[in-house]
Amino acid sequence: MLLHRHVVRWLPVGGLLLLVLAVPRAAGDTFQWSKYEGYPDAWYDSFEAKEIARNVLSWQSPAGSWPQDIDTGENKYEGDPKELKGTFESGASTGELRYLARIFRVGKDERYGDAFDKGLKHILDAQYPTGGWPAFAPPPKMTYERHIAFHDYCQANILHLLREIANAKQYSFLRKDKRDTIRDVFERGIECMVKCQIVVKNQRTGWCALHDEVTLQPRAGSKYEPVAIYSAETASNLLFLMTVKDPSPAVIKAVHGGCQWQERVKLAGIKLAVKDGVVAVVRDTKAPYLWTQYYEIETGKSMFLTQNATVKYKFTDIEPAMRGAFMWYGPWGRDVISAYAKWKTKFPQ
């Protein structure tokens, strides 16, 4: 669900293999849905555009969402529709909905409008009373998958889409009362995100990948996904919150606290390399900042997991095989630091 989704590449440099760290692009860009947004309206009346839309319709699950890691616009789904299981992970569903809204607005083909309405209703119905969303709905009961999901951009992507639907002109085909409802849903989602932020000794920090859908407390996921402050998910949430127009005092406080936490825990002067076949942390005074994936909530210590999921606090204390199996270090906070430098001039503490 989490660590294995990050892109890890090793490149030969100066006799060593250096780790190139990358973070998956936000949802909607996974299969280049965003490129179609720049196309003129006339293109959406073309055979190519309609063929993509027909393919997208075939991949919509009975619930109204779309599966992840599949280019749903490339080919038609030929399987049993009942087998389709959609999600909000990794950009699934939000890109398809944007595309369907655009092609419906241009051509008024009710098939696309109905599919958009179904997908939007699914998102609205999936929101918990506390304001967050699971990774897919309905989630299995009594498993970690029922929790509010911040991993893989789930909350941020849903909120980005809802804000567009509530305010952007291209969604003006929706009734005003419907857009007002969506605006309320969006605000509740932001409130939930802020309330989930982990506070340690009266200081705001970051987020876990999963939070309880009722209590909003951090929750563990699968074997290698412990209760912790997660760098990638924290960065995703902070970058989203910094896009909120006219942020409330609660949002402003959350951003300042989270960004200052990422500044405090950044790691300077190191990089990862493979030495004698084993991933190692090596010194490099010119290396850009890194963050570890997990931070223990109470102590702030970096956490690493052995093969049996025992927590260790030193990278060298986990098995050599585990050091290269997951992305324990990453660049997640770099964009946050850059964005925060500009944002805080507009919204000082």
Range of the domain at 134: 3-30+127-344
43 assigned to some structural domain = no
Q: How far apart are CA 136 and CA 342, in angstroms?
A: 34
Q: What is the CATH number of the domain that holds 267?
A: 1.50.10.20
**304 contacts: CB under 8 Å, gap ≥ 6:** 292, 294, 311, 312, 313, 314, 315, 317, 318, 322, 328
46 assigned to some structural domain = no
Q: Is 231 helix (H, G, I), strand (E, B) or coil?
A: helix
Structure tokens at 262: 């990422």
Q: How far apart are CA 233 and CA 226, in angstroms?
A: 13
What pLDDT is recorded for position 13?
Answer: 44
What pLDDT is recorded for position 30?
Answer: 52
What pLDDT is recorded for position 34?
Answer: 84
Degrees to nearest 5, angle at CA 110 with 107 and 112: 75
92 assigned to some structural domain = no
Nearest in space to 37 (alpha carbons), one of 29, 26, 47: 29
What pLDDT is recorded for position 177?
Answer: 96
Question: Buried b vs exposed e over 55-75: b needs ≥16 C-beta within 10 Å?
Answer: bbbebbbebbbbbbeeebbee
CB 68 within 8 A of CB 89: yes
304 assigned to some structural domain = yes
What pLDDT is recorded for position 76?
Answer: 97
9 assigned to some structural domain = yes
What pLDDT is recorded for position 31?
Answer: 62
84 assigned to some structural domain = no
90 assigned to some structural domain = no
Task: State the pTM of this model.
Answer: 0.91
Mean pLDDT (10-residue bins), the chain, 349 residues: 45 46 43 85 97 97 95 95 93 95 96 98 98 93 92 95 96 96 98 98 97 98 96 97 97 98 97 91 96 97 97 97 93 97 97
11 assigned to some structural domain = yes
Domain count, the chain: 1
